[in-house]
Amino acid sequence: MARSASREPEKSPATRRLTVRIETIGSGGDGVARFDGDILYTPLTAPGDLAVIDATGDRGRLIELAERSPLRTAPPCRHFGQCGGCALQHVTREEELRWKHQLVATALTRAGVETEVCAVIAAPAASRRRATFAIKRAGKTLLLGFNERRSTRITNLEVCVVLAPELAAQLEALRSVAALIPSLEFDLAVTHCDNGLDLNAIDRRLTARAVTETPGLAAAMRAAGAVRLSVNGETALALAEPTVTFDGVTVSPPPGAFLQASREGEAALLGVVRAAVGDARKIADLFSGCGTFALPLARESSVFAVDSDSLAVEALKRAAAGAQRAGLQINPVRAETRDLFERPLSAKELKGFDAVIFDPPRAGAAAQAAEIAKCGARIIVGVSCNPATFARDASLLVAGGYRLIEVTPVDQFVYSPHVELVGVFAKR
């Protein structure tokens, strides 16, 4: 029997001590430099820095700054540099917004789409109403925070400068709630709603039943200002139904429901969307969630909302019906549960709508965009948290006879490499 050839163990890339000039910021928020034709990505560096780094492969680790960029500023959070929740606290806010504007413009250019990129609408730093914390028991200590950069280690948060004050103030109280959940390691998604915090523990090994009867849980939730605790999207204990308001319409979102990251960002996005659809009488809102756009627009228009999340769709329906019963001026909202990736609405199904809005996840919605391009609606509005996939989908609409009038970036993910945007298309 022939013996198999022995395989040489793979060698780790050698580490080189280099001095490099940082040229720009990459899409992940790391500084970008070139050395001997290679591109190197180094966190915590700013354009203009002359940085001494240890380079391994295409990754650099900052050792010291030989020259400091004028674009640098003092990070506002003492956890920055260790915590992986933020990437850009070390550059000026003006530079961050300039870079995010360029991020959007570059994505469109690469996709061959030409348009005006408007000035970035910036949300305040301390405005995030949603966060997913990593939780881990380490001996007698319970860690609650965010993973360190490119690591599974957790930075145990004492403060957080991006959270809305109502959420940031409850970090210690949230630790007390997390300590009662019978799991060694899990994620805790927290949303600041109008009437308190909505919590969702995420751990496939954990059940809602295992949490429901935990002694002291209700008291700990009250101390944290929490109104509901769910496990993997199943309610374990509800002291009240959490509520959010979309233009005066009250919605009870299901556990884990998608909401825009900040109220200020949501208001900015809605303002651009509302101005774009204008006097449209019939609007289709695709990837509608529980009604961020559908319910405000139903104040003046007939709206058809579609989303794959059946619980979100039912919450939207209940909110619209409840608003009508309360005497609010709102049109009936037709809503449907449908996976728009597997079964996009066809151009025929979209025929007759004056405006179509689509707000897909980060992956974009190429199949749905291809159908929208053929539907004939006067106005198309695309909302996205990923400039690259938006640009790809925009190119399909442009090829189908639409013109991208303008794109408005909205920065509600302050200090992160993410940026939201709204693109407005008109039929040529």
379 to each of 278, 299, 357, 373, 422, how far by Cα in Å? 9, 18, 9, 11, 13
pLDDT at 201: 98
- Report, as ranges of residue numbers, the positions in the chain whose pLDDT lies below 70: 1-12
Determine, yes or no, domain membership for 417. yes
CA geometry: angle at 391 spanning 423 and 366, to 5°?
100
Ramachandran angles phi, psi of 3, nearest 5°: -85, 140
pLDDT at 408: 98
CATH classification of the domain holding 197? 2.40.50.1070
Determine, yes or no, domain membership for 91. no
Active site residues: 385
pLDDT at 150: 85
Tens of pLDDT, residues 272-287: 999 999 999 999 999 9
pLDDT at 63: 98
Determine, yes or no, domain membership for 79. no
Q: Which domain holds residue 327?
A: 97-124+259-427
CATH classification of the domain holding 307? 3.40.50.150
- Same domain for 144 and 226: yes
What total number of domains does the chain contain?
Answer: 3
Determine, yes or no, domain membership for 263. yes
- Same domain for 319 and 396: yes
Asked if 221 contacts 239 with a C-beta cutoff of 8 angstroms, the reply is yes
- Same domain for 312 and 163: no
CATH classification of the domain holding 56? 2.40.50.140
Burial class (CB in 10 A: 0-12, 13-18, 19+), 147: middle
pLDDT at 29: 95
Tens of pLDDT, residues 104-155: 999 999 999 999 999 999 999 999 999 999 999 988 899 999 999 889 999 9
Determine, yes or no, domain membership for 169. yes
- Same domain for 34 and 158: no
- Same domain for 278 and 407: yes
Distance CA 117, CA 161 (A): 28
Distance CA 317, CA 223 (A): 32
- Same domain for 385 and 268: yes
- Same domain for 39 and 102: no
Distance CA 75, CA 377 (A): 46
Asked if 227 contacts 196 with a C-beta cutoff of 8 angstroms, the reply is yes
- Same domain for 232 and 307: no
Taking the CB of residue 322, how many other CB atoms lie within 10 A of it? 15
pLDDT at 172: 97
